[in-house]
């Protein structure tokens, strides 16, 4: 029997539709029909009481959650716990993210993601390798002793995932354009981040296949009057994608509003950069031997360096509406449709016939009521 989600404000590509029902069967959206369609007679109808029905959120940068960090234990069980923690906040698809580490840890993380997808662990869409091919000058909380320049073995390793998508964050000044081109040809989605690259170096990487920018503005050379830097290249380029952490700590809202005005619609998406406290019981964690604490939503080391975030995706959507002046429909797309497009996942991130039925029910205050799929 099909399930019908009725009496909801349904987000589709051109905005919210009322007086419709979404028919779901076998994990897929069958059709969006009028509220009085005869097919509803044979369906299990769920009355959502006027709540929002949104596509499930997709988070391309999830370091941890549920009191576990992917780097600490790159296993299927860790991935399962992280996914369960974030699902409570509307995330139905995610990339477990490995912060710069040694090759054996990277290998274990890739194997764990492959196994998690093969086992059907809910929500796992691939892996994000944030490093280790980064710049010490913009290391952030990463351990610079783990940084290196990719060689042939490194390229083989980061291209070895069999299931799902691989996102790799690099510093373009430390990774030759030829390597970016080869990685792209092997199906890796290459992004710039933790980089002190010049505008020219970034532009050369874009020409070689660089697809996006990891947490725009953070840990990258800024836009100035005479040196556009990585940020300038990101905002100028029409085809690239930018992830953004909208938590009120990583980037000033005015800077994000400028970025939204500069980028083509649909090319900015939300990420959390989440750490273990999201969906967990503890406000502290250890990263590379350094203790970090989250207070009032801000995660930092004892010397004040930001250490990821305590942000969940539904909070990111609310913040985008409240601080950036973005309407609910567009903020929800920034958490679902646009990251799906960035990852080239045609059946994710939308409510449409043939799409996967991964759905979020949210009330008018944008609080999660239910997660489907």
Q: Please give the positions annotated as active site.
A: 273
With the C-alpha atoms ordered 357, 360, 364, 366, is the resulting torsion angle positive or negative?
negative
Torsion of CA 285, 87, 333, 30, to 10 degrees: 160
Q: Which residues pair with 360 in a beta bridge?
A: 54, 371
Rounded CA-CA distance 31/24 in Å is: 7
- Contact between 229 and 222 under an 8 Å Cβ cutoff? The reply is yes
Residues in the chain, overall count: 373
Q: Is 22 helix (H, G, I), strand (E, B) or coil?
A: strand
Look at residue 34 and give its three-state secondary structure: strand
Vertex 231, ends 260 and 132: CA angle to 5°?
120
**Residue written as tokens 């906040």?**
89
Three-state DSSP class for residue 184: helix
What's the longest Cα–Cα distance across the chain?
A: 65
DSSP class per residue in 107-127: HHHHHHHHHHHHHT-TTB-EE
What phi, psi does 2 have (nearest 5°)? -75, 155
According to DSSP, the β-strands at 268-270 and 165-170 are unpaired
């Amino acid at each position: 029997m099909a399930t019908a989600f009725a009496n909801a404000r349904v987000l589709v590509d051109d905005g919210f539709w009322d007086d419709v029902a979404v028919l779901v069967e076998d994990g897929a959206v069958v059709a969006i029909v009028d509220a009085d369609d005869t097919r509803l007679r044979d369906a299990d109808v769920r009355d959502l009481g006027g709540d929002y029905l949104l596509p499930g959120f997709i988070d391309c940068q999830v370091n941890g959650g549920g009191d576990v960090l992917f780097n600490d234990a790159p296993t299927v069980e860790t991935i399962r716990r992280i996914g369960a923690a974030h699902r409570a906040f509307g995330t139905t698809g995610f990339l477990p993210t490995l912060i710069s580490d040694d090759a054996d840890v990277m290998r274990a993380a890739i194997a764990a993601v492959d196994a998690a997808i093969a086992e059907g662990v809910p929500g796992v869409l691939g892996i994000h390798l944030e490093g280790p091919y980064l710049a010490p000058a913009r290391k952030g909380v990463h351990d610079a002793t783990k940084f290196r320049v990719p060689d042939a073995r490194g390229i083989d390793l980061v291209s070895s995932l069999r299931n799902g998508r691989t996102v790799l964050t690099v510093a373009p000044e430390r990774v030759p354009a030829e390597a970016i081109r080869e990685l792209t040809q092997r199906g890796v989605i290459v992004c710039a981040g933790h980089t002190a690259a010049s505008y020219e170096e970034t532009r050369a990487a874009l020409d070689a296949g660089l697809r996006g920018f990891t947490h725009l503005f953070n840990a990258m050379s800024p836009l100035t009057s005479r040196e556009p830097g990585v940020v300038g290249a990101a905002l100028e380029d029409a085809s690239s994608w930018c992830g953004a952490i909208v938590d009120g700590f990583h980037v000033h809202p005015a800077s994000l509003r400028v970025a939204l005005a500069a980028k083509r619609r649909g090319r900015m998406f939300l990420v959390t950069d989440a750490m273990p406290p999201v969906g967990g019981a503890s406000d502290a964690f250890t990263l590379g031997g350094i203790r970090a604490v989250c207070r009032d939503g801000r995660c930092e080391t004892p010397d004040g360096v930001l250490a990821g975030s305590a942000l969940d995706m539904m909070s990111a959507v609310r913040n985008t509406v409240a601080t950036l002046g973005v309407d609910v429909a567009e903020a929800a797309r920034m958490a679902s449709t646009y990251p799906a497009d960035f990852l080239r996942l045609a059946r994710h991130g939308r409510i449409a016939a043939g799409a996967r039925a991964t759905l979020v029910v949210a009330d008018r205050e944008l609080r999660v009521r239910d997660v489907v799929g």
